[in-house]
Structure 1
Amino acid sequence: MSLIYEYKLDGTNAQYSAIEEAIRTTQFVRNKCLRLWMDTRGTNRNDLQCYCAQLAKEYDWACALNSQARQAAADRAWAAISRFYVNCRNKKPGKKGYPQFQHDCRSVEYKRTGWRLEPDGRHITFTDGCQIGQLRLVGTRDIETFPITRLKRVRLIRRADGFFCQFLVQAQRRVHHVPTGKETGIDLGLKEFLTDAQGNTVANPRHLRKAEKKLKRLHRRLSRTQKRSSGRKKARKKLAKGYLKVSRQREDFARKTANALVSSHDFIAFEKLSIANLVKNRKLAKSISDASWGRFLLWLRYYGAIHDIPVIGVEPAYTTADCSACGARVKKSLSIRTHICRSCGLVLDRDHNAAINILAKSRTVGQTETAPSAGGDNASGQPPSTSSRRKPTTGKVAE
């Protein structure tokens, strides 16, 4: 199990420029490795790792980047390649995700070498040839309390509001769960973010919808600027900060809602929604993306794992149509928000009815959903990260 600790970096403009150069080198190595795979049949992961040393000999500025950081860039290329292979083997319908060259790399990853954490735990020094030097870590986590052998990776990330440093820490995280004797099923929707089997609801925050007016104004301001001008760079940065704020609001809401739900129940059932298919509906795609169901479910499984309580995923088929009292099937369109059963006379909110059905359906499911190792990130396929900074407060059709 692992955790992610994140800090904001405080340095000089020269140091930020050095980080940018390291990120560009990472992108270059990744793209060159991808080109080698395209041009040479039978290229494997080991070939890409060896190619990094060859690139360092050919390009002096590439040699400045730490050798393990170059290998991490090669691993990024291989991750895209292996994902393409898996999709082909599984005969995934549609596009198979053929690897593409990267043009917007925003991070560089160091493994065990090329950096040194200072004894005070508030400064980190990069010792490779990129000349990044010593940077101050802005955050409240005590990273120095972990043995250095548990720090498996350091990643420098560029975002709209500055540069950040992530530490991957190998650690166990367990929370003593206080039993409540409560079980519930949850139905995700767009009118209400979720409705549980007891009829309680959580309002849909609609972060993007609320910020849309400001974002549109920033888009117009950007479109009026001249290309490659300093004014355009400033307008673009403001727009990026606007979207970053929305992203952090979604993350904060998903994390807090999932934590509250897990802390107050001993058993939770949810729908295994195919969100990638749902967003193909062009009329609902923006609202579904704004609700960020996928991120919420990721946090729900994560907190279920560290609290050691069952979190069950069930198929969503007919959970809305079936009557929770008698089982009769009452078909209804999205515009009908009330479940009215002609067989038993039950009148109930459609989401409440669905939540009851989800809970009942989960009792017949024998397999518990489990979260992966706690504390990773999306790129590595691990659960959500544990950030050191308090961020801003950062199938079935939606019903």
Structure 2
Amino acid sequence: MLVIEYKIKAKLHQYKAIDEAIRTAQFVRNKCLRYWMDAPKDAKINRFALNNYSTVLREEFSFVKDLNSMAVQASAERGWAAISRFYENCKNHQPGKKGFPRFQRDNRSVEYKTSGWSLHRTKRRIAITDKKGIGELKLLGKWDIHTYPVKSIKRVRLVRRADGYYCQLVIDTEIKEQFEPTGNAIGLDVGLEYFYTDSNGHQEENPRFLRKAEQAIKHAQRRLYKKEKGKNGRRKARKRFAKKHLRVSRQRNEHAKKLARNVCKSNDLVAYEDLSVRNMVKNHCLAKSISDAGWSQFRQWIEYFTCKFERVAVAVAPQYTSQKCSNCGAIVKKSLSTRTHVCKCGCRLNRDQNAAVNILNLALQARDGQSQSNAVGVGTSTLLGATLVEQVLTLSTESPALLPGECQLRPHASPQTSTILEIKQYSRKS
């Protein structure tokens, strides 16, 4: 799937109508969750049962009936996506919290399927044809959708962000890029001092976007708290505060995307650590720095570009990659403050470069031994029971995933440009 995103230009009453449609979608999803929670234990609640219940909601509430029927159905599917994810986590005995479905209070999007909208013949305007009063919206962006037939547009989503409203069009197509093999392989060790260090010794600077903008964010936050609740001044201050966070998230995502693309274009095999960032951020001393680095985003982009460029991505277990000597294999104990690896065999390397070389060696061993390949030819290997991401989003630019049940990514879009996203779902491999 290809997702093209445009910024919306409309009138004030149209923005209010979009907000009303978004609130209705949230209401339907929450009512479906309540219906599932209150159902008897012997009742079989599945996706089709929730779709049928959404029809009952349309008959019971007039404001739900004003929303397009397929948009109501898509909202019910969002509720089922949360329920099915909870069931799957329980079935797989996932450690820790299983993700019990929760009620939404800050939904920011409404999704239409193949009805409820009409694209203008110039394909620069889109009209929402339900009874919410949204009407015709002007699309701002540089992406040209004239090459795609209207029938290939499977979904339309209206998204509210801190800097305005966006329209996302999901197109049933596929994009591939062909590159000649380079014969190169690289190992990556991510860190806080440097964003990553590769097995060739190159160190990429850590931009620290949040740290640089932290003073301005705190100033905006203080101004927000000084405003009286319920007043327009507080609403404007909250919007300024949200814009600053949105800008940081966009910078971080763009940085990770650019680096991952360059790495995957110049190497046939990319090896990286299978880090559990969720557990690492529990360290309150390093949580902000780890989150600011954006390691998970960087990994997602690597997995995407290796698929798109028909390269190989290998995730290896991180145990002992920093302590083990990349030359002789001996274990050299060192603390985090020790930044140079010195071994009795005469090997003297930067600590992170030594770890990157170990990561590459483990990946090559895995490829020679028990590697697995998915349908698109991307090899995935794991060591010591570590698992790769079960569902990988193939992302071409900044937009978040559109389909229900997919993981959400931080949005990153220029106000005057549209964005593209490709969504794929991989079969599970372990």
TM-score in same-fold range (> 0.5): yes
Name the structure 2 match of 1:190.
192
What is residue 394 of structure 2 aligned with on the other side? 374
- TM-score of the superposed pair, with normalisation by structure 2: 0.87
- Correspondence for 1:322 among 317, 321, 324: 324
Rounded Cα–Cα distance in structure 2 between residues aligned with 1:199 and 1:165 = 43
Q: Partner residue of 1:364?
A: 365
Which residue of the other structure, out of 57, 60, 67, is the alignment partner of 2:59? 57
- Which amino acid in 2 is paired with 1:90? N
TM-superposed CA distance for 1:44, in Å, is 2.0
2:186 and 2:198 in contact (8 A); partners too: yes
- CA separation of 1:182 and 1:390: change in aligned 2, threshold 3 A: farther
Structure 1 residue 345: Cα displacement: 2.2
Q: Deviations over 1:36-86 (max 9, x none)?
A: 111112322211100111111111111010111101111111111111112
What residue is the counterpart of 1:265 in the other structure?
A: 267
Q: Is the 2:187–2:199 contact (alpha carbons within 8 Å) kept by the matching residues of 1?
A: yes
Q: Taking every aligned residue pair, what percent have the same amino acid on both sides?
A: 48
Q: Is 1:147 paired with 2:127? A: no
**CA deviation vs aligned residue, 1:114-141 (integer Å, no higher than 9, x gap):** 0111121211111111111111111111
1:29 aligned residue: 28
| Count of aligned pairs | 390
- CA positional deviation for 1:380: 4.0
C-alpha distance in 2, partners of 1:309/1:270?
14
1:313, distance to aligned residue in structure 2 (A)? 1.2
Kindly tell me: are residues 69 and 161 of structure 1, through their superposed partners in 2, closer, same or farther at Cα, counting changes over 3 Å? same
SS of structure 2 residue aligned to 1:31: helix
- Pair 1:196–1:383, CA change in 2 (3 A): farther
Aligned counterparts of 2:155 and 2:28: Cα–Cα separation in 1: 19
CA distance in 2, matches of 1:103, 1:40: 22
CA root-mean-square deviation: 2.0
- SS of residue matched to 2:17: helix
TM-score, structure 1 as length reference: 0.93
1:348 aligns with 2:349: yes
In 2, the alpha carbon distance for the partners of 1:21 and 1:88 equals: 35
Matched with 1:67 is 69
Cross-structure match for 1:280: 282
Distance 1:200 1:247, change over 3 A: same
**Is the 2:162–2:243 Cα contact (8 Å) retained in structure 1?**
yes
Tell me the CA shift for residue 171 of structure 1: 1.3
The amino acid that maps onto 2:157 is: R
Measure the CA separation in 1 of the matches of 2:230 and 2:182.
59
Comparing 164-173 with 244-253, which one deviates more in the overlay? 164-173
* Map of 1:131 onto structure 2: 133
User: 2:16 — aligned with what?
Assistant: 17
Q: Where in structure 2 are there 5+ consecutive unaligned residues?
A: 373-378, 381-387, 420-430
CA shift in 2, pair 1:187/1:267, >3 Å: same
Q: Which residue of 2 aligns with 1:395?
A: none
Q: Secondary structure at the match of 1:167?
A: strand
Counterpart CA distance in 1 for 2:32 and 2:417 is 37
- Deviation of 1:391 after TM superposition, in Å, equals 8.8
How far the C-alpha of 1:152 sits from its partner, in A, is: 1.3
Q: Deviations over 1:332-353 (max 9, x none)?
A: 2211111111x21211111100
| Counterpart-to-counterpart distance in 2, 1:306 and 1:386 | 20
**Whole-Å separation in 2 of the counterparts to 1:362 and 1:88:** 31
Match of 1:240 in 2: 242
- TM superposition shift of 1:317: 1.2
**Whole-angstrom distance in 2 between the partners of 1:79 and 1:11:** 31
Secondary structure of 1:363 counterpart:
helix
Rounded to whole Å, the distance in 1 between the matches of 2:360 and 2:95 is 32
Provide the rounded CA distance (Å) in 2 between the counterparts of 1:391 and 1:252: 14
* Structure 1 residue ranges without an equivalent (≥5): 393-399
Specify the SS of the correspondent of 1:330: coil
Note the alpha carbon deviations across 1:190-223, whole angstroms, 9 max, x for none. 1100111100111111110110000010111111
More off after superposition, 367-376 vs 382-391: 382-391
